Amino acid sequence: MTDKEKEMAAMIKEINELADKLINENKRIKVSFMKIAIITVLVALCVYSASSNAACTYRTDSWGNTKYTCDSGNGGTLRTDSWGNTRDSGTGLTYRKDSWGNTRASDGTTYRTDSWGNTRGSDGTTARKDSWGNTVITGKNGSRTTCRTDSWGNTRCN
């Protein structure tokens, strides 16, 4: 072999060693990304299960008030006064519409409905209608609640 051929063989050997190192590093990176993905999914499942709301049923009485009861034992009544303010006896919150059409809660949360009909809260919650007419509410932590109205007019959220 000539000197040039020896140099070329050495360069090819070095390139192959570098390629092998890169392949091994990529395998390690993929494994660590998989570990991170699995941990993220497990944490999300734990947060969801810890923050999932109890199922509630809402009924409107003959006076126009909405009474609700939840499986957790909580409940209350939503009453709207002549000024248009809605009070929730269960949580103690009051809701009112401002001049821009936004709904403001007494705890400081503001809810806005966009032109597509999606409602977004300043606390990170969103609500939208799905193709079956159910209301899907997504909390700021990723928890999802679906509300359905039955043929009797009762709305049940899970």
pLDDT tens-place string over residues 96-137: 888 888 888 899 988 888 888 888 888 888 888 888 888 888
For residue 97, the surrounding DSSP H or E stretch is: strand 94-97
- The tokens of 60 are what? 């409107």
Alpha-carbon gap, residue 35 to 152, rounded angstroms: 48
For residue 126, the surrounding DSSP H or E stretch is: strand 126-129
pTM equals 0.57
Q: Which residue has the higher pLDDT, 69 or 34?
A: 69
b/e map of 63-77 (b: 16 or more CB within 10 Å)?
Answer: eeebbbbbeeeeebe
CB 138 within 8 A of CB 124: no
Residue 146 has pLDDT above 60, yes or no: yes
Q: Are strands 56-60 and 155-157 parallel, antiparallel or unpaired?
A: antiparallel
Residue 38 — pLDDT band, cuts 50, 70, 90? low
Q: Is 58 exposed, middle or buried (0-12, 13-18, 19+ CB in 10 A)?
A: middle
Q: Are strands 94-97 and 86-88 parallel, antiparallel or unpaired?
A: antiparallel
In DSSP notation, 28-88 reads HHHHHHHHHHHHHHHHHHHHHHHHPPPPEEEEE-TTS-EEEEETTS-EEEEEE-TTS-EEE
Average pLDDT over residues 4-11: 71
Give the model confidence (pLDDT) of 45-82 as tens digits. 444 444 445 688 888 888 888 888 988 888 898 888 88
